[in-house]
Amino acid sequence: MHLRHGGFPPPEHGGRPVFSQKGLLTTVAWSLGGKATYALEGSVFVAGAAIQWLEEVGLIGESREVEALARSVEDAGGVYLVPAFTGLGAPYWDPYARGAILGLTRGTTRAHLARAALEGVAFLVADVAEAMAEEAGLPLEELRVDGGMAENDLFLQIQADLLGRAVARPRVTETTALGAALMAGVGAGVLDLEGVRGAWNLEARFAPGMPEDRRQALRRGWQRAVERALGFARET
């Protein structure tokens, strides 16, 4: 997924590096004419792999089944799944964190676990997005997404609800490959940045619909779950 504040950053925002205090990475977005434009990057280690894990443990037959299964329940039933299978990236940066499922009851079903897995990824992205907006000093207008999980409509609606911002999916979701091709065109002189801007076309937008008090309660529950996962593999 890529975070966007409404297109390419203007020079006054992207022309100088911002060194994060919240676990984000400072990187070069691109360089044209010898001038670098900088960006903040937030690493979420596990996204689609959380859905693959559901398949590996037998909760779903194949990854494309997760949306229908998660839709069969209204919410995760108080269950939180922290997908820290390889530690946690931004903004936590804890290699000793481990995956955790909390809030299980006798009424928990595999559908609740499927929905909790989608929510767990969305919570992590929301954590990164909020840290990025604060560090950049720019309000987050919308989240533009790409990649395999962007094909899951339910996940994108969950993401919009938990972030409290619109989520936009382009017609072409393979943004990394498309971006490399477009910037190669810029380098070859057959495209300019306006041409690159025009290559992004909206396919669907998901507006947040969750009441703010509900969103805040879920985010507080998520933070409690993350606190229990942090440092779990540390021996001392």
Q: Say if CB 162 and CB 119 are below 8 A apart.
A: yes
* Average pLDDT in the chain: 90
Range(s) of the domain holding residue 104: 2-229
The pLDDT score that the predictor gives to residue 226 is: 98
Let me know if residue 212 belongs to a domain: yes
Sign of the dihedral through C-alpha 208, 178, 198, 2: positive
Cα separation, 177 vs 196, whole angstroms: 13
- Asked if residue 94 belongs to a domain, the reply is yes
Into how many domains does the chain fold? 1
Q: In the predicted model, what is the mean pLDDT of residues 7-27?
A: 70
Does residue 213 belong to any structural domain of this protein? Answer: yes
Output the six-digit token pair for 154.
């339910």
| 109-142 per-position pLDDT tens digit | 999 999 999 999 999 999 999 998 888 888 889 9
- Between CA 182 and CA 193 the distance in angstroms is 9
Residue 214 has pLDDT above 60, yes or no: yes
Q: What is the pLDDT of residues 25-60, one digit of tens each?
A: 888 888 877 888 888 888 899 999 999 999 999 999
pTM here? 0.89
pLDDT score recorded for residue 8: 40
The pLDDT assigned to 157 comes to: 98
Q: Is residue 235 part of a domain?
A: no
CATH number for position 22: 3.30.420.40
Asked, as a colleague might, if the bond just before 10 is cis with ω within 30 of 0, I would say: no
Domain contains 75: yes
